[in-house]
Amino acid sequence: MNTEQDSSNACASHTGHQVTLDLQLRRYRNARRRKVADRLARQEPIEFTGEAGEILRFALIWAPYGGAPAEETFQKFGMAPRRFAEKLWQTVEELGCGRTITSQFASVYAHPGSG
């Protein structure tokens, strides 16, 4: 009888532990997103409008995650990731974006001339 009670206590303890981990993970992710957004806002605020602004903002949002998924890129801009990267670098060059943004993009989005 004690074994049944022990196993139910262990199960309840495990469930409680999982809930605690899930809560901690959710808090960490929210804090991380806020930190990334704050850091990006401090670095170089983008005040461009139109398609150029949309492309830059979209690329910045997805940069911390290794770039935008192909589905998101196609849904938002109607282009494949390779074409999006070309358009992004064209926009960066045309607008003369700063070194901070350029280096952040370089670590995620392939430059068309890089192979």
What is the per-residue pLDDT for 19?
86
d(CA 66, CA 87): 17
Co-location of 74 and 93 in the same domain: yes
- Contact present, 64 and 84 (Cβ < 8 Å): no
**Which pLDDT score, from 0 to 100, does residue 80 have?**
95
Please tell me whether residues 31 and 57 are part of one structural domain.
Answer: no
Residues 69 and 110 in one domain: yes
What is the pLDDT tens value at each position of the chain, 115 positions in all? 555 555 555 555 667 888 898 899 889 888 887 777 776 666 655 566 788 999 999 999 999 999 999 999 999 999 999 999 999 999 999 888 888 888 889 989 988 776 5
The whole-number pLDDT of residue 114 equals 62
Are residues 60 and 26 part of one domain? Answer: no
Token pair belonging to 98: 């700063």
| 27 and 57 within one domain | no
Structure tokens at 92: 């960066």
For the entire predicted model, the pTM comes to: 0.57
pLDDT value of position 2: 53
Reduce the secondary structure of 16-59 to three states and give it as a string.
HHHHHHHHHHHHHHHHHHHHHHHHHHHHCCCCCCHHHHHHHHHH
* Structural domains counted in the chain: 2
Could you identify the residue written with the tokens 């804090």?
A: 31
* Domain encompassing residue 23: 1-43
